[in-house]
Structure 1
Amino acid sequence: MTDDHMQVQEFFGARAAHWDARFSGDGPAYEAAVAALGLRHGDSVLDAGCGTGRALPYLREAVGADGTVLGADLTRQMLDEAVRAGRGRAACLLQADVARLPVASGALDAVFAAGLIAHLPRPTENLRELARTVRPGGLLALFHPVGRAALAARQGRQITDDDLRAEPRLGPLLESSGWRLLSYVDEDSRFLVLAARTG
């Protein structure tokens, strides 16, 4: 396990038990972001870096009983909280690294990723691995329940153009990783980027 992995696991593992209480008002934002993916009944979707599984019930509702919902997270404590909250019934939960997903190439219709991009140690490679799992034309949603400026203020830092989530950086990053940027929204109330799998 790399130092990056250990830092992520330590950070989220220590916060897992209180994560949902800390962000209890985010449900409607997750629901709206999942709706923006336009999933259909029978689709297959991965919640990459699913944490405590806040998106999983909305993803399950979108794909129906005959669809497939996977939730993958590196941190066991977060997955345990997802199960404790009853969200494990909405998905198959996997303790897995997004750099090496146990998912067949082209098996998915979409990937949902909330708050993930800031924690990717090798963004180009990691986004390419997500692209590997999605069929051509399938979608990626990069989501956060608050925008870049609101998040920076919450964390006591300044927003900068070299932020990976800034549109001038993120567009080329997605292009080099097998995705085509479809839409970019960065408002106080949400950050939501949709991209389509190329080729």
Structure 2
Amino acid sequence: MTNSGVERFYRRIAPRYDLLATAPVVRRWRETAVEALDLSPGDTVVEMGCGTGANFPPLRERVGSEGRVVGIDRTQGMLAQARDRVERAGWANVSLVRGDATSPPVEAADAVLGSFVVGLLDDPGAAVDRWLDVLEPGGRIAILEAGRSDRSAALPLNLAFRAFVRASSPGGLTRWRSPARQLDRKIAAAQDALVARTVDRRHEAAALGLVGVTSGRSPVDSP
């Protein structure tokens, strides 16, 4: 699907997407991803593909009023929802930027978060490399994604997940190839890129392995 098609798709579903993004179980997954960043007061954290800003509350809570949260997204519909959230809360230290997560318009960050976004990227491995380029030495990166589980107990969930991905992804209902299989490959590429350039790596799974948070720390150069 073209960029304009993706834009139209997410503009149309943005209000409904926000309801799903802030559901209690999804909030717990998001909290796990934010915890994996090991944020401190005063940090600058950049979220790639911030969507409606569902992660902003826990991110801002951890960086404090003296820190900074930057949300990047290319879709106006999602950013409009995120802007409403920021304005309602009166957060002066949360900035929104319309931009592409594959070439983020930021120079440096103490932490980088991507949640449910790598499946939308043509080359998620290259995108994660660019995210790591802006990460300060010692900073952490975390990727939150949902994909098919290899656990036998998760077979019914896998079937439901495949149907959900087809129905909820841009152009999913008209694709000949399985969107869920393509998503798995993209998640693996993003995780491989993260693992290749980080230390102190962690992986936390939930929902019988369908949901996972992969995180790592940018190496600190030896003196």
After TM superposition, the score normalised by the length of structure 1 is 0.81
* Contact kept in structure 1, 2:139 and 2:218, CA below 8 Å: yes
Task: Number of aligned residue pairs: give it.
Answer: 191
Deviation at residue 138 of structure 1 after TM alignment: 1.3
Distance 1:136 1:6 in 2: 36
**Unaligned runs of at least 5 residues, structure 2:** 150-156, 164-177
Q: RMSD of the alignment, in Å?
A: 2.7
Distance 1:142 1:93 in 2: 20
Q: Where in structure 2 are the equivalents of 1:1-199 lying within 5 Å?
A: 4-23=2-21, 24-25=23-24, 26-85=26-85, 86=88, 89=91, 91-104=94-107, 107-144=108-145, 146=146, 148-149=148-149, 150=157, 153-156=160-163, 163-166=185-188, 170-175=190-195, 178-180=197-199, 182-188=201-207, 190-198=211-219
* Contact kept in structure 2, 1:147 and 1:187, CA below 8 Å: no
Sort the Cα spacing of 1:76 and 1:171 in 2 relative to 1 into closer, same or farther, 3 A. Answer: closer
Deviation at residue 158 of structure 1 after TM alignment: 9.5
Q: Which amino acid aligns with 1:141?
A: A
Sort the Cα spacing of 1:124 and 1:32 in 2 relative to 1 into closer, same or farther, 3 A. Answer: closer
> Rg bigger for which structure?
2
After TM superposition, the score normalised by the length of structure 2 is 0.74
* Contact kept in structure 1, 2:124 and 2:190, CA below 8 Å: no
Q: Which amino acid aligns with 1:196?
A: R
Sort the Cα spacing of 1:180 and 1:122 in 2 relative to 1 into closer, same or farther, 3 A. Answer: farther
Distance 1:94 1:181 in 2: 30
Identity fraction in percent: 28
Q: Secondary structure at the match of 2:54?
A: coil
Q: Which amino acid aligns with 2:124?
A: P
